[in-house]
Amino acid sequence: MKGLNLLGSTGSIGVQSLDVARTCGFRVESLAAGSDVAALEAQIREFRPAYAALFNEEAAADLKVRVADTSTRVLAGADGVAFCGAGADGDVTLNAIVGIAGLRPTLEAIGAGKTIALANKESLVTGGRLVTEAAARRRVKILPVDSEHSAIFQCLLASPPNRALKRLILTASGGPFFGKTRRDLENVTLSDALKHPSWSMGQKITIDSATMFNKGLEIIEAYWLFDVAEEQIDVVVHRESIVHSLIEFTDNSVLAQLGHPDMRLPIQFALTYPERRPSPEKQLDLGEVGKLTFFPPDNEAFPCMEICRAALREGGLMPAAVNCANEEANLLFRQGKIRFIDIPDFIRRASSSIENKADYTPDDVFAVDALMRRRVRELVKE
């Protein structure tokens, strides 16, 4: 890789991507984020990118003044963010924006012929057909950063010439509420939901892990990345987050990828692919780990995964609808406006109101986004 464009640079994945850039000595061509002026200023001073952008226009104006002494050009708004992914010189664009806000930058970076290192699973979930068709047309590679998908991608490198793939098996940590019943979940709080057992991540995905909606998003993400049917994607709960996912061949042989739960490993592999480089990642000592445990998912207490599966089977705009309804419900839960247990219900009710179509455009997806956010807020008031 010659240079990196990094979108979402101030978040959990963004900061860890810069750790990787530092260890591997990658040149950073652009940095973009939402509104965190101080964090982006510090990153600009260390990495000296040609371009930086903040989605929030006021914050961008502030940043521009603060870094006026550097050679970095500061851009603003959705256009500025998209330019950092598509117009800057990096040959790889790592998209670590959270939510559907990542869709347009993904599409524009593909349009500009950039290799995509994708952490922003929501772009594949909401615009799967648009993203994969554009990538095929431009012969652009989409390299997964999500740990499960990186694991599957790594396992698939050992595929025979006839592929002979039977099943993908995604592992799920089960989140902080593993083993709880629906009734137990009635009174859980935000701080309970933010206590993830194995990963330290941004708040939105941490809540999605607690509801298991995250695993539903990952089923849809795997569907688009690996060209398999929905029925070929299974999920197993694995508490220790050491086995990052598995693949099964037609002869029932199973391959897995293992490592400590540290996102810098899948980030680095996406950025050095097809090569591997040494990493500061802790070596895996299975004797020290001792025990790996596996359980079937509990779809009754955690219905979100099945909501996503149903949306994937229905196709068209339905995955976008459930994703966007979830983004709003997830936010309202974090704001203390709805209960944890109500999240799946709001998603189901809001998404049932869309007019679906198979052949959608980016504008159709953004219209569904606006509709779902409005619908969920209306349902809360009812």
| Residues near ligand NAD, by CB under 6 A | 8-14, 32-34, 36, 55, 81, 96-98, 101, 119-122, 146, 199, 201-202, 204-205, 263
Closest of 50, 48, 4, 52 to residue 26, by C-alpha: 4
Q: Which does 8 bind (CB under 5 to 8 A by kind): Mg ion, ligand NAD, none?
A: ligand NAD
Judged by phi (left if over 0) then psi (alpha if -120 to 50, else beta), residue 69 lies in: alpha
* Total site size for Mg ion, rule CB under 5 A: 3
Q: Are the CB atoms for 127 and 153 separated by under 8 Å?
A: no
CB of 150 to Mg ion, least distance (A): 9
Rounded Cα distance between 283 and 247, Å, is 23
Rounded Cα distance between 190 and 316, Å, is 33
Closest of 81, 79, 127 to residue 365, by C-alpha: 127
CB of 27 to Mg ion, least distance (A): 28
Q: Which does 135 bind (CB under 5 to 8 A by kind): Mg ion, ligand NAD, none?
A: none
CB of 248 to ligand NAD, least distance (A): 23
- Cβ-based nearer residue to ligand NAD, 246 or 379: 246
CB of 34 to ligand NAD, least distance (A): 3
What is the pattern of x (binds Mg ion, CB under 5 A) and - over residues 130-169? Answer: ----------------xxx---------------------
Q: Are the CB atoms for 237 and 295 separated by under 8 Å?
A: yes
Rounded Cα distance between 307 and 335, Å, is 23
- Cβ-based nearer residue to ligand NAD, 125 or 371: 125
Q: Which does 98 bind (CB under 5 to 8 A by kind): ligand NAD, Mg ion, none?
A: ligand NAD
C-alpha count within 13 angstroms, C-beta hemisphere, residue 205: 22
- Cβ-based nearer residue to Mg ion, 43 or 147: 147
C-alpha count within 13 angstroms, C-beta hemisphere, residue 84: 34
CB of 370 to Mg ion, least distance (A): 27
CB of 163 to ligand NAD, least distance (A): 26
Residue type, 12: S
The residue sitting closest to ligand NAD, measured at its beta carbon, is 11
Rounded Cα distance between 68 and 74, Å, is 9
Asked if 221 interacts with Mg ion (CB under 5 A), we say no
Q: Are the CB atoms for 165 and 246 separated by under 8 Å?
A: no
Contacts with Mg ion, residue ranges (CB under 5 A): 146-148
